[in-house]
A and B are shown apart, each in its own frame.
Chain A
Amino acid sequence: KNQVEQSPQSLIILEGKNCTLQCNYTVSPFSNLRWYKQDTGRGPVSLTIMTFSENTKSNGRYTATLDADTKQSSLHITASQLSDSASYICVVSDKGFGNEKLTFGTGTRLTIIP
């Protein structure tokens, strides 16, 4: 069964500090990995999408890395801001026969305190 596990479940950091969120997956065959940001009471918003051949991708202060060999990804947030407080969801797409399927992680809830 395809699974996506994220750690930590929750994280509190001071404004201005950096942090790294982790995502481990057991999805096969692998197609791509996405990171979404979900503000409280809102829908998820895409941050990055990485395919098998990409091992890093940036979107402003967000940098995602992918190690397809160890099936791990991380999302690094630099110089955190209060607006970064949200849940961050890792999503992995498989590329099996027929339609692809997205497997969603349960997210890491990040709280930035002033």
Chain B
Amino acid sequence: NAGVTQTPKFRVLKTGQSMTLLCAQDMNHEYMYWYRQDPGMGLRLIHYSVGEGTTAKGEVPDGYNVSRLKKQNFLLGLESAAPSQTSVYFCASSYGFRGGGETQYFGPGTRLLVL
């Protein structure tokens, strides 16, 4: 049982390049989330999904897109990376109702540097 895994662990991009971050969970969770963590700020929700085939915007969705084609996977895409997207990205998953007391399980994070 690997829990929540993220690929890649670290990536350097040039401004304007695109990339996809992959999140996978093996706990059969319905809900999945993408957060970013920046120095001096709390984690901020980018996008989330309440089930296979669904996605919704979070607090800071601009510049990102997501897809949930399979229940166990949640992809975060950057179409044209900007230096402001330099951050650590965390994926999380949970069983049920979003924020309703259900524990969120986090992945190890992806460090992204945009030059």
Contact = CB atoms under 8 A, between A and B. Distances in A.
B34 interface: no
Decide if the interface of chain B is mainly helix, strand, loop or mixed: loop
Given A45-B106, A46-B103, A104 B44 contact: yes
A100 B31 CA distance: 13
Interface in B38-54: 40-45
Interface residues on chain B, size class = 20 to 34
B65 to A, nearest CB: 20
A43 B4 contact: yes
Nearest to B90: A43
Contacts of A51: 101
Interface in B17-53: 40-45
Interface string A30-49: 01101000000111111001
A106 B42 CA distance: 4
B100 A106 contact: no
Contacts of B101: 31-32, 49, 51, 93
B42 to A, nearest CB: 3
Interface of A: 4, 31-32, 34, 41-46, 49, 51, 89, 93-95, 99-107
Given A31-B101, A94-B99, A100-B100, 12 more contacts: A42-B109, A43-B4, A43-B108, A43-B109, A46-B105, A51-B101, A89-B43, A93-B101, A100-B98, A102-B45, A102-B99, A106-B41
